[in-house]
Structure 1
Amino acid sequence: MRADTRRQRQLAAALALFAAALCGSRAEVIDDVLSSVSRGVSFLERQHEHINLDGAVGFVMLQAELKEAVRTWPHTDPLSWAQRTTAVALLKRLDQSLEKAVAALQENDPKYYREFEPLLSWSFWMVPQEWSSTDSSLLYSSTMTTECYDEQLSDKCLTLLLGTWKMNGTPCIVTKPCRDTMTLFGCPHYSLSHQLLYFMIGKMRGCSDLLKGDTRASRANLTEEDYQRTFCSNMMKTNQDIVRDGLTEQTLDIFIENILICGLAGFSDFLKADWLQHILRLQDGEVGCFGRDHGCSSHMTAVAVGALGGYLNFYLAEQDITKRPLT
């Protein structure tokens, strides 16, 4: 009996050590993420007049992620609390510089701004409260070699969802061309990420039944969640192929964009530790932007900091798990 008790104590001690080591390394990773985001925000502070709408949306996603992180930060130890203080200060800087960036957007391109204004509010974006994984059985048997959407149609479909297609427009409108394009299987790269974004934005806008009116028998049982899982499972394959073949100037942007969007959709297997290291290595340490080898890209910077916000929330959620009492 006593030997059993001793073994249980040894096991508990070993588990406690393991948890402490995990939290130690996780605390270091959170430090790395926070300092990288801080440099990214410095870039926004200097460049706020020149950030386009897509770039602003990436920083707004980061804003939503940071607000959620600060709200739910585990009260575990002085180090964790010091990191939260850093995050609070960072968020304040981001709030101020984003306000200027959004004002500049409104002035420079009022029509485009009005059509996508809902996406420029942090409260629009839902941060994952639970996590799931992709499913390799959902991979397409073949993928098209060219993109299968055009930007004008994609923008039009989004404004119909948002209700910004005219002044005081009705939201949640799904036309047949939009549904056909956004549910087409076999699309590559940016088409795939835009299809996913369409479903995510529909959900966040509160549109129920994006699939209403779809009469294809083969798709009868597919839900909006099924489409998101299918898209992210194929985006996972894209990213795995990109890493296998070596990241290039051409593939970096879609690689990080996939991590950002599928991470925000709640697929935790995109938030891999080695992929995080790939992202961190791409940052120009002095200027704070991303796209180091070929000059600064404000789009890639915005996408990268948005992805880093996703990593932050994921690591904080994980940290909470290790702090639960050992039973």
Structure 2
Amino acid sequence: MRPSLSGVSGLCTLSLFVLCMFGRLTAIWGKVKSEKEFVEAKQYLIRSITALDRLAWFLEHHYEQGNLDLFIGTRIAEGQLASLLKRIDEDKKSVDIPLSEDLHHRLRILRERLDFITNRGTEIVEKNEPDYFQRIGGVLRKGLWEIDYAALKTLNKSLIIHVQETEKLKESQSDDCINQILGSTQNGGCTIPSNCWNIMTMPGLYGYSLTHQMFLLEISAKAGCGNELRRRAAASGETLTDIANRICANVYGQAKEIAANGYPLSKHDIFIEQIALCGILGYGNFFKSAWLDHILKWQQAEGCYGMGEPVKKSISSSSADALPPSSKWTQHGLRLKRQEKRMQDNCSAHRTAVAAAALGAYIKFLVLFASGSI
């Protein structure tokens, strides 16, 4: 049972929301917070909500230019806000969460907007990318990304290993596994092919190959394959938590290297993806103010996340045409992702997707942490 917090007002305006929340956190932990810390915490939550709001505004006007990968990001963000709002509603039954009606309403509206964008995007992708949608469109299912955590997790940094900076998996491999796993759950069962289990658990991966391991595990667990995952993990002498801890520890190690190297432009996309996919599981190591500062700074004035300098002058910055899968054009030496798509105002569909997911994870963390719920 939580301590009585009657000394802190439960009514907060949006601008004072985090001040009130951290006042309540102080009552729980008995720690003194400086006024500067209060102000900074308030600003981070407001800035994160505003950034996701601006991103949603951009997509409301340009969602017809998006691809399936873009709407995976908006569905993850929607799922994070949905799970947060459910948590708040449940907690209100037993404790007075200091959440203002204005902020509660704003979060609900933002979730609804992300749901609208994803639903409209799903219709467009099903029409424009029928084969791709047939294979992995199930990842856009509402509720799939309502991943919650009861408490923050701390990574064991001794699990981090240094590996060669080489991608070992193809995106098509993880797509094939998503197709097979989701297809096997349609009648209430679950089959995880051995090659897919090997992809999920093989050690020594880097970059997108590593984050796609986590992506596959998260999809499989939420799609109804929890028992099969646990059975396979036990057969390997591990638990599912052990596997997730190992993957995210290495994701964290690679993210730290990107930060230590000054956040090169060519690493922005993978860096945000790393924070998103492990952050939604509640690994507190990923919720750093300095990392959030950079994600917020990289947002374009239009609300999206850009592709950097145009690759070729012959490509219009406002072109909505997908770059060909075999394209060798690069951004500062980095080959573009297979499912990347250039949108209005030189915006990147994939980078905007992972930013939406990461911002949703940060908003959920800030609210739960400040309320003492985790």
TM-score, length-normalised on structure 1?
A: 0.84
Deviation at 1:101, TM superposition (A): 1.2
Residue 250 of structure 1: SS of its match in structure 2?
helix
> What residue is the counterpart of 2:294 in the other structure?
278
> Alpha carbons of 1:180 and 1:49: their partners in 2 closer, same or farther (altered >3 Å)?
same
Deviation at 1:213, TM superposition (A): 6.1
Matching residue within 38, 45, 49 for 1:30:
45
Q: Does structure 1 retain, via aligned residues, the 8 Å contact 2:83–2:146?
A: no
Worse overlay, 220-229 or 237-246: 220-229
> What residue is the counterpart of 1:149 in the other structure?
169
Matching residue within 127, 134, 138 for 2:155:
134
List runs of 5+ in structure 2 lacking aligned partners. 1-25, 310-345
Deviation at 1:155, TM superposition (A): 1.1
1:240 aligns with 2:291: no
Worse overlay, 299-308 or 115-124: 115-124
Counterparts of residues 157-172 of structure 1 (less than 5 Å): 157-163=177-183, 172=190
Moved >6 Å (runs of 4+): none
Q: What RMSD over aligned residues (CA atoms) do the two structures have, in Å?
A: 2.8
Q: Hey, what's the Cα distance between the residues in 2 that align with 1:230 and 1:18?
A: 34
Supply the AA of the counterpart residue of 1:183: T
Q: Hey, what's the Cα distance between the residues in 1 that align with 2:34 and 2:190?
A: 46
Q: Does structure 2 retain, via aligned residues, the 8 Å contact 1:114–1:164?
A: no
Q: Hey, what's the Cα distance between the residues in 1 that align with 2:367 and 2:288?
A: 14
> Alpha carbons of 1:132 and 1:300: their partners in 2 closer, same or farther (altered >3 Å)?
same
Supply the AA of the counterpart residue of 1:49: E
Q: Does structure 2 retain, via aligned residues, the 8 Å contact 1:48–1:101?
A: yes
> What residue is the counterpart of 1:3 in the other structure?
none
Matching residue within 93, 96, 102 for 1:82:
102
Matching residue within 51, 59, 68 for 1:44:
59
> What residue is the counterpart of 1:7 in the other structure?
none
Deviation per residue, 1:16-71 (Å, 9 max, x gap): 86388755543322111111001100111122112111110100011111222333
> Alpha carbons of 1:20 and 1:296: their partners in 2 closer, same or farther (altered >3 Å)?
same
> What residue is the counterpart of 1:314 in the other structure?
365
Matching residue within 122, 125, 131 for 1:102:
122
Q: Does structure 1 retain, via aligned residues, the 8 Å contact 2:184–2:191?
A: no
Worse overlay, 52-61 or 82-91: 82-91
Deviation at 1:243, TM superposition (A): 0.6
Supply the AA of the counterpart residue of 2:372: I
Counterparts of residues 12-27 of structure 1 (less than 5 Å): 15=30, 18=33, 24-27=39-42
List runs of 5+ in structure 1 lacking aligned partners. 1-10
Deviation at 1:173, TM superposition (A): 2.0
Deviation at 1:210, TM superposition (A): 2.9
Q: Hey, what's the Cα distance between the residues in 1 that align with 2:132 and 2:85?
A: 31
Q: Does structure 2 retain, via aligned residues, the 8 Å contact 1:31–1:83?
A: no
Residue 123 of structure 1: SS of its match in structure 2?
coil
Supply the AA of the counterpart residue of 1:308: L
Counterparts of residues 43-62 of structure 1 (less than 5 Å): 43-62=58-77
Residue 307 of structure 1: SS of its match in structure 2?
helix
Q: Hey, what's the Cα distance between the residues in 2 that align with 1:15 and 1:174?
A: 48
Q: Does structure 1 retain, via aligned residues, the 8 Å contact 2:287–2:362?
A: yes
Worse overlay, 235-244 or 147-156: 147-156
> Alpha carbons of 1:195 and 1:77: their partners in 2 closer, same or farther (altered >3 Å)?
closer
Counterparts of residues 164-313 of structure 1 (less than 5 Å): 172-207=190-225, 208-210=227-229, 212=231, 220-285=236-301, 287-291=302-306, 293-294=308-309, 295-313=346-364
Worse overlay, 205-214 or 254-263: 205-214
| Structure with more of its chain in helix, by fraction | 1
Q: Hey, what's the Cα distance between the residues in 1 that align with 2:177 and 2:74?
A: 23
TM-score, length-normalised on structure 2?
A: 0.74
> Alpha carbons of 1:198 and 1:255: their partners in 2 closer, same or farther (altered >3 Å)?
same
Identity %: 27
Deviation at 1:115, TM superposition (A): 2.6
Q: Hey, what's the Cα distance between the residues in 2 that align with 1:237 and 1:171?
A: 36
Q: Does structure 1 retain, via aligned residues, the 8 Å contact 2:74–2:117?
A: no
Worse overlay, 234-243 or 22-31: 22-31
Q: Hey, what's the Cα distance between the residues in 1 that align with 2:112 and 2:146?
A: 20
Q: Does structure 1 retain, via aligned residues, the 8 Å contact 2:79–2:145?
A: yes
Q: Hey, what's the Cα distance between the residues in 2 that align with 1:160 and 1:169?
A: 13
